[in-house]
Amino acid sequence: MSEPSFEPSPLAPRRTPEEQARDRNRGVGSVVSHQAAHQQFAEEVEYYLSLTPRQLPSRYFYDELGSALFELISRLPWYRITRTERRLLGAHAGDIFARMAPLSTLVELGPGNGEKLATLIAGRSHPGMSVHLVDVSGAALEAATRALTIHTDLVLSAHQASYETGLAEVTREQRTTGRSLVLFLGSNIGNFDPPGADAFLRNVRAALTGGDAVLLGADLVKPERDLLLAYDDPLGVTAAFNRNLLVRANRELGADFDLDGFTHRAVWNADASRIEMHLVSARRQRVRVPAARLDITFEAGEPIWTESSHKYRQNDVHAMLDRAGFGAIEQWVEDGFALTLAEAR
């Protein structure tokens, strides 16, 4: 039996010692951070699945499959956030850049596939801005970078980091005199509970200087049946997106979730002004998650709470920004969605 061969192909060019060293070290950082990310996933699953009620954090939705499923969600007729926001960005880009002049730096926290940022940037009046993309997902950074490469006048930096760390990196690197605009779009703010949203916005404010600004996308309260259709769509895409968390736990943590044993549920919690997504155990069943040292018995009907999407009234958005040290300059509203430009005081 012959060994597999790892010799370089005779057609491969000879590499210099420098190139060989670089090849050896390539990806070492990402291997380390991959292990750290796996460890953190295991620890958070252990912690959140042990709470009452049991929970799983929504940020773990976005592995490769989950990100693709979210892109499908954003195209569903019942989920209007992405489409509406993109329309608002296209329609008001000129206005936004005019009000922010002289703008030198754009930062987007969580750019996703970069489409919304590209729509905004297409409406700029002056060339030559620095654009910083901050995301924990390397795949998202690649996609967003690709979406912007046609704009050759931009100086792009990708920060594979948490929002907080990424913002700190941007502030540290900055040597420009113009103003900065931080984008936090898609109603991603809605995944924070109200104290978390306040803390997040205060943190953004702390990274900025008076005259800099934030552009915040926030989904508004609307009739319950519209909200439920957006989070429990007739094609079952959102159900797949939700249950993919269990697929991920099975693959990455060695869990033995029976995918047919959990059903997707979306509920409107009017008191807390949020849609909640749950995965509900269809029967009494035992689940083991070895990497998270868990051995759980779920009761029939017992939920795992996987996401909150808070919905706002127009004034809630103003008040939230005000508490964080921002004064609203303008709010554009369409189809139950608000895009708010607010300046750091």
Contacts to ligand AVJ by CB under 6 A: 73, 81, 186-188, 190-191, 231, 238, 307, 309
Which of residues 307 and 316 has its CB atom nearest to ligand AVJ in the complex?
A: 307
Which of residues 157 and 309 has its CB atom nearest to ligand AVJ in the complex?
A: 309
Tell me how far, at minimum, the Cβ of 143 lies from ligand AVJ, in Å. Answer: 15
Tell me how far, at minimum, the Cβ of 152 lies from ligand AVJ, in Å. Answer: 30
Which of residues 42 and 147 has its CB atom nearest to ligand AVJ in the complex?
A: 147
Tell me how far, at minimum, the Cβ of 164 lies from ligand AVJ, in Å. Answer: 18
Which secondary-structure segment (H or E) carries 193?
none
Peptide bond between residue 102 and the one before it cis (omega within 30 degrees of 0) = yes
Separation of CA 167 from chain center: 15
Interatomic CA distance for residues 265 and 49, integer angstroms: 17
Tell me how far, at minimum, the Cβ of 77 lies from ligand AVJ, in Å. Answer: 14
Tell me how far, at minimum, the Cβ of 153 lies from ligand AVJ, in Å. Answer: 30
216 touches 321 (CB < 8 A) = yes
307 touches 276 (CB < 8 A) = yes
Which of residues 114 and 186 has its CB atom nearest to ligand AVJ in the complex?
A: 186
Which of residues 73 and 207 has its CB atom nearest to ligand AVJ in the complex?
A: 73
C-beta nearest to ligand AVJ: residue: 309
Which of 221, 19, 183, 195 lies closest to 86, judged by CA? Answer: 183
The count of C-alpha atoms lying within 13 angstroms of the C-alpha of 16, restricted to the half-sphere facing its C-beta, is 3
Tell me how far, at minimum, the Cβ of 65 lies from ligand AVJ, in Å. Answer: 14
168 DSSP assignment: H
Which of residues 97 and 312 has its CB atom nearest to ligand AVJ in the complex?
A: 312
| Alpha-carbon distance values, 163 to 37, 91, 235 (Å) | 15, 27, 33
